[in-house]
Amino acid sequence: MKPKNTLLEKLEQTLASHDNETKEQTIANLRAKGINTDALIAKVRATVQKGYSAKLKKIVEGEKSQISQKPNRFGNLATLTREAMLQLVEQLRSGAMGAGFQQAVVARCRNKQPTELTEDELRTWLEDLGELPDDSE
């Protein structure tokens, strides 16, 4: 087996290393060899911008899905239908699950009825409610 990092390879690496050279010097050397550095830089900028946006979007989506799949005291809200969530709200409003929840639901319903909320809004609201201190016991 050929040993790794022979002296010749070290020489190659040393010759190839221009870490202290300015970008302008490197660009001048590349242009002398017919390399279109302007086009390359423009392509790389576009790729980085696009790649960054895509990766950021993926992270945000992952975080959202992580939150909605997190089971709380009302169960796994991600799997509940809109109807099931509305039934749950009615239970909370009736006080069956404690006065704290009842007050929170009544206060919330002064501004908007649960039936007017979208499925996502309902789920988010129930997630927030699930974080309230439990006074039902």
Q: Residues interacting with other proteins, by CB under 8 A? A: 2-16, 18, 20-21, 23, 25-27, 29-30, 33-37, 39-41, 43-45, 47-48, 50-52, 54-56, 59, 62-63, 66
Residues near 126 by beta carbon (within 8 Å), at least 6 away in sequence: 72, 74, 77, 85, 88, 89
Radius of gyration of the chain (CA): 30
As measured in angstroms, the least distance from the Cβ of 126 to other proteins is 21
Nearest in space to 82 (alpha carbons), one of 113, 115, 111, 106: 115
Tell me whether residue 72 or residue 87 sits nearer to other proteins (CB atom): 72
Tell me whether residue 29 or residue 113 sits nearer to other proteins (CB atom): 29
Tell me whether residue 7 or residue 107 sits nearer to other proteins (CB atom): 7
Residue 30 and residue 37 in contact, taking contact as beta carbons nearer than 8 Å: yes
Residue 136 and residue 104 in contact, taking contact as beta carbons nearer than 8 Å: no
Residue 85 and residue 77 in contact, taking contact as beta carbons nearer than 8 Å: yes
Tell me whether residue 10 or residue 73 sits nearer to other proteins (CB atom): 10
Q: Give the three-state DSSP class for 95.
A: coil
As measured in angstroms, the least distance from the Cβ of 57 to other proteins is 11
As measured in angstroms, the least distance from the Cβ of 33 to other proteins is 6
As measured in angstroms, the least distance from the Cβ of 102 to other proteins is 31
